[in-house]
Structure 1
Amino acid sequence: MKISSVIGATLVAAIAYLSFWPVEIEPTAWVPPTPTQETARNQALKGIKRIGLNVGVGPEGISFDAAGRIYAGYVDGRVVRFSADGQSHEELANTGGRPWGTFAAEDGSAVLVADAVKGLLRVTPGKVELLTNESDGVPFRLTDDVVQAKSGIIYFSDASSKYGLDKMMADVFEHGAYGRLLSHDPQTHKTKTLASGLHVANGVTLGPDEAYVLVSETLQYRVMRYWLKGPKAGQFEPFIENLPGFPDNISYNGRDGFWLAIFAPRDELFDRILPYPALLKAVYRIPEAIRPKAAKHARVLKLDLNGKVVADLQDATDGAYAPITSVRERGASLYFGSIEYPSIGQRPLP
């Protein structure tokens, strides 16, 4: 048999596989907005200091207590507390799942954990308590981030009510509206769905005076605002749209704005196939090991209180601390978390 015939038969078989092999996703067509003019690349995040290097992999969401101690969860299930200088650490507990978002109590007595596998948890030294793992009878499949108001009410996100940790990319390619913004009252033990139909509900944070809560809607390239107080209470609206990448965790700096982690830049090819469900299925059929990966590009945006970008800090050089999935301002520094990197990051404010 001629080599050309073998190659031809292989190509035909590959095309047939990519076109017809059954997959679990049913993609929804979406035409993404035309990207706005990109900010020129910069290296403002170059030289990020590594804290707790190789203590664990993937400190996805970080938080602080009043003493400046740093809290993070790792891929092996550990929830770890670092000293304020980052020189020492202790394991508080192991959730047995995958802790993502964290929110530490001011006195450090407990830390709320959005565990992608287990649900919303409260962790104290040596103890893991389940607060909730469903809303309206629908279980959480990918609990993502968490914040607590002074009233005690907890606000958190469930990235997907359909796909779990082992099928995250299915949600990306299906572009389904399975994400939710939720609240939980520790006193009444009631969990409420504040907003549903989100395309991967990700980072959450409270705004000034806790008048509203923001939630990143990753696959729509935007951040949404849910009003908690005032004449708009109960309304859900865009805070910023048409972002230059996939928004992840977001945090309020307590003064003049928010810091937003950008997991990766938008991909032109991916944007082009989003309107075509058949193409999305075909690409999803490609084995994950050889499927195109998101670019390693460290990036965070600062948003003012009106949702306008006022700073764009980046680093796309070799060895960049990337991907960045959370960012918090404390004192004169920014601190960073990553779903993949084996350390927490820290850099003085520009």
Structure 2
Amino acid sequence: MPNTQVRSVKSPEGVNRPKRSPRKVRILGLSLLAVLLLGVIIFLLIPSPIEPAKWSAPTAPSFEEAGPWKQNNKLSSAQLVTDAPKSPEFITFDKEGQLYTGDSDGKIYKVAFDAEGSPQKAKVFADTKGTPNGLIFDANGNLIVTDVKKGLLSINPSGSIEVLANQVDGKPIYLANELDIAKDGSIYFSDTSNYGRVTFREIAENKPHGRLLKYDPLTKQTTVLLEGLYFANGVALSADEDFVLVAESYHYQLTRYWLKGSKKGTSDIFADNLAGFPDNITRDEQGHFWVGIFTTRISFIDQMHRSPWLAGIMAKLPESLLSGASAPAKHGLAVELNPQGQLIESWHDPEGSLYGVTTAASDNGYLYIGTAPGGSRGVHRVLLTK
């Protein structure tokens, strides 16, 4: 039998390697394909960790058509106030006009302004060792804070921190988010979700896990006013305190809970079909409400809500692979609503220099803008010219 030799070619490194036959290449390719198909089959057969609810979101408002949603550049000229807080979720002011905002690392910053209104260097006021979101001063000069990890806090002028509430009805306050304070000292605040954190899985599930709570400073008791909210977020009282608003981010709406009158103790929809995820709510001197829109509508999210099967599949994926699916669109947006819930005007940055807007707060002729992780960094402001 004649001797046979395997032909070889010289590699770039000078090492002779056997040349693979086309048959072996085909076998290897088919084997890899079989492994891949087997992995896909196993992935599809694994039960989803959620049972998604079907929901057909209304068609988003158009930014191209004439009307209050029409796109403009009102936020595009935003001026940086301070970049000390990377993610200034909420913005408030003390009686002297100094700005306060928290950051996701637990620090709360204070920014003073000079006689010409120019911001000075930010200073650390306190550190909750958590994640301070909402913050408003009470009548005694204490900074009341809703901290995602710590609950409802009170910080006195010297920076000492007291926990007001971290439980309600014997259960934890899972994710204290935003707040407002009534003239009698009552604190209304949101408990965003019993998931205890922001997670894509909750968006996919599309079920209500949030609550609106009330803290009574006299009795030091916390009560539940509303349950079954779709990611309870921003909170704001009306000028007459006859109702309190809470944002339901995942259903693009603001819900109104009546505190006075014939509807006391009931709730209804104040504004719906917003052009994105409403975040925080503030009230200006006219009694109008300003709402930060964290992201404009994401078509994939609406598509997923229409298809529970798709939502269930997506929920199986690791969270690290899903961050891009719910990342804020690079389109800055804040809106102004009148006391009846009608849209007055929308403020845009379509270029996305400023985006991921959580807060729009009117003060001393400016609209101050806060953001959250995933969006722009630092506190910004624009002149309130219309």
TM-score (norm 1): 0.92
Aligned counterparts, 1:93-172, within 5 A: 93-105=126-138, 109-124=141-156, 125-161=158-194, 163-165=195-197, 167-172=198-203
CA displacement at 1:169 relative to structure 2: 2.3
The 2-side partners of 1:321 and 1:21 are apart by 41
TM-fit CA distance, 1:256 = 4.3
Q: Distance in 2 between matches of 1:18 and 1:310?
A: 48
Q: By how many angstroms is 1:4 displaced?
A: 5.1
Report the more deviating stretch, 338-347 or 212-221: 338-347
* Structure 1 outlier segments of 4+, above 4 Å: none
Alignment match, 1:246 = 277
Distance of 1:17 and 1:113 partners within structure 2: 46
Task: Determine whether 1:342 maps to 2:353.
Answer: no
State how far apart, in whole Å, the 2-side matches of 1:15 and 1:143 are.
Answer: 39
Superposition map of 1:216-255 within 5 A = 216-255=247-286
Supply the AA of the counterpart residue of 1:56.
P
Q: Would you say 1:272 and 2:303 are equivalent positions?
A: yes
State the superposition RMSD in angstroms.
Answer: 2.0
Shift of 1:142: 1.2
Total equivalences in the alignment: 345
Q: Aligned equivalents of 1:305 and 1:189: distance in 2? A: 30
**1:13–1:245 CA distance, 2 compared to 1 (3 A):** farther
Shift of 1:5: 3.1
Identity %: 33
In the TM superposition, residue 20 of structure 1 has moved relative to its aligned partner by: 3.6
In 2, the alpha carbon distance for the partners of 1:150 and 1:196 equals 24
1:61 is the counterpart of 2:90: yes
* 1:63-112 Cα distance to aligned partner (Å, 9 max, x none): 111221111111110112211343133222211111111112367x3211
Q: Distance in 2 between matches of 1:244 and 1:188?
A: 40
Q: 1:17 to 1:57 in 2, by over 3 A?
A: farther
Task: Identify the match of residue 16 of structure 1 among 27, 41, 47.
Answer: 41
How far did 1:33 drift?
Answer: 2.1
User: After alignment, is 306-315 or 268-277 more displaced?
Assistant: 268-277
**In 1, Cα distance between the equivalents of 2:60 and 2:177?**
26
1:51 aligns with 2:81: yes
> For the structure 1 residues 19 and 251, does the alpha-carbon distance in structure 2 shift closer, same or farther, using more than 3 Å as the test?
same
Equivalent position amino acid for 2:338 in 1:
D
| CA–CA distance in structure 2, aligned partners of residues 257 and 10 of structure 1 | 59
| CA distance in 2 between partners of 1:300 and 1:294 (Å) | 14
Listed as ranges, the matches of 1:326-341 within 5 Å are: 326-340=359-373, 341=376
2:216 to 185, 200, 205: 185
In structure 1, the partner of 2:60 is: 35
Q: Provide structure 1 residue ranges, at least 5 long, that are not aligned to the other structure.
A: none
What does the per-residue CA deviation read over 1:29-48, in whole Å, with 9 as the maximum and x for residues that have no partner? 22222334443432211021
Letter in 2 for 1:116: V
Q: Does 1:300 align with 2:334?
A: yes
Unpaired stretches in structure 2, ≥5 consecutive residues: 1-24, 64-68
Structure 1 pair 14/298, CA: closer, same or farther in 2 (3 Å)?
farther
Rg larger for: 2
The alpha-carbon distance between structure 1 residues 306 and 129, as it changes in their structure 2 partners (threshold 3 A), is: same
Q: Check conservation: 2:248, 2:255, Cα contact below 8 A.
A: yes
Q: Are the structure 2 counterparts of residues 227 and 141 from structure 1 closer, same or farther at C-alpha, using a change threshold of 3 Å?
A: same
Q: Does 1:321 align with 2:354?
A: yes
Q: Which amino acid aligns with 1:171?
A: E
Residues 92 and 123, structure 1, Cα contact 8 Å, conserved in 2: no
| Deviation of 1:288 (Å) | 3.5
